[in-house]
Amino acid sequence: MFLSEGLSINKAGHLLVENCDTVELAEKFGTPLYVMSENTIRKNCRLFSKSMKQNYKNSLVIFASKALNCLEICRIVNDEGLGLDVVSGGELYTAKKAGFPMDRVFFHGNNKTSDELKMALESKVGRIIVDNVFELDELDELAGKMGVKADIMFRIKPGVDAHTHDFVKTGQIDSKFGFALENGEAFEAVKYTTKLKNVNLTGLHCHIGSQIFDDEPFIAAAEVMLKLYVKIKKELNITLSDLNLGGGFGIKYIESDDPMAYDKFMNTVSNVIHDFCSVNSIDVPRILIEPGRAIVGEAGTTLYTVGAIKEIENIRNYVFVNGGMGDNPRYALYNADYSAIIANKADATADYTATIAGKCCESGDLIQEDTKIAKPEKGDILAVLSTGAYNYSMSSNYNRIPRPAMVMVNEDKARVVIKRETYDDIIKNDI
Ligand SMILES: *Cc1c(COP(=O)(O)O)cnc(C)c1O
């Protein structure tokens, strides 16, 4: 059994997030409950920023807010000096309301609506990451009408295999994201942009996948991208100033996950980039990276209350919790790994094989199958670890179940940063 960053067990055998007893948090705020460790989030932000500063003259760490976006997260990430990726009008709106500086906002997405493009231009976001020629033409026209020039980057498919799960693999030519590199589409788009009056191409972007554990795919992607920079310089005499290598840094969900230390990661990739640029006589561009999961994933723990337990002999033991795929759809979507622990007896031996199931009317509503926990009883508090990324942000009201509250823990204090939804919230748009 491993514990995520920021977690420990006290003398009473209770699981702590920083110095807050999770059993008391469950009592005070109710369950299901998303618990975030503020100091873990800040520590992760600093780890990335520091190593980027050490490795490059000019760099920016951008938090991919699709992993977790709410006002307080935007404030914390801003306070740490990071940039912010958004992929929708809703994420952009949240960032604006949180007072996030718009020049550090990067707008992504493969099919931004006209309204979203307008909103991005009106908000003066730092960069719009253009996904395809349709969007490029529309943006050029919109910017022209508004009398502005849009700073843009292109999303490129570098064709690098990130050795990861099929569903979260996004670097290949058969991907809905971006311009393909191997068939010349990306280069042609750069060339085409020189004819457009209202956009200014500052660089290229790639994101090769998620939950990546080693530096090889990043190095491969960086080299492929930089080769294109050289070609663009030679043939079009254009020097691109930004290079965004995306996110995807792996985190620990289960004991056997072994992600590479991020600062070591940065260092290796940086050496390759500096060598490549000096051999090919190009300036090292500003390097951007976009961790999402690696900033907030391990900082999150979800607390549930155990309900009924169904032991089906020689088959499996179902342990029901008062949440499920509504607050964490990742097992239902792609069999994501998670570790669980009974928070009120966190020091007890985990010798019981449990299939943790939610309360939705869906057989696939599982959090984890055949995982080891201490023998559970009705009323226990079950904690699922490393749920800070893609849980709240992917949550739904399936079965009209209200979304849980989120609390932010800082040492021995906990504050609500997202209120629990009520039944009235559930019907608020019904007519
Ligand atoms: C999802 C995504 C990220 C973040 O991925 P993580 O695995 O959470 O680090 C970064 N950039 C882009 C473009 C993405 O789509």
Task: Render pLDDT for 178-231 as a digit per residue (tens, 0 to 9).
Answer: 999 888 899 999 999 999 999 999 999 999 888 888 888 889 899 999 999 999
Domain 38-296, architecture per CATH = Alpha-Beta Barrel (3.20)
pLDDT of residue 167: 41
- Reported pTM: 0.96
What is the location of CATH 3.20.20.10 in the chain?
A: 38-296
Please work out whether the CB of residue 330 comes within 6 Å of at least one atom of ligand 1.
no
Report the topology of domain 7-30+299-427.
Lyase, Ornithine Decarboxylase; Chain A, domain 1 (2.40.37)
Measured in Å, residue 266 CA sits from the centre of ligand 1 at 16
Ligand 1 atom index nearest CA of 209: 7
Query: Are 252 and 261 contacting, i.e. CB atoms less than 8 angstroms apart?
Result: no
Measured in Å, residue 240 CA sits from the centre of ligand 1 at 22
pLDDT of residue 170: 52
**Helix, strand, or coil here: 66?**
helix
Task: Work out the angle between the directed axes of helices 216-236 and 262-279 (0-180°, nearest 10).
Answer: 30
Of 20, 74, 277, 361, the catalytic one is 361
225 against 263, higher pLDDT = 225
Asked if pLDDT for residue 165 goes beyond 50, the answer is no
Asked if pLDDT for residue 337 goes beyond 50, the answer is yes
Asked if pLDDT for residue 3 goes beyond 60, the answer is yes
**Helix, strand, or coil here: 16?**
strand
Asked if pLDDT for residue 164 goes beyond 70, the answer is no
Residue 249 per-residue DSSP state: B
> For residue 184, what are the contacts with CB-CB under 8 A and spacing of at least 6?
none
pLDDT of residue 172: 66
- What are the distances in angstroms from CA 101 to CA 43, 46, 373, 409? 21, 19, 44, 25
Please work out whether the CB of residue 359 comes within 6 Å of at least one atom of ligand 1.
no
Task: Please give the Cα distance from 114 to 142 (Å, whole number).
Answer: 9
Asked if pLDDT for residue 277 goes beyond 70, the answer is yes
361 is catalytic: yes
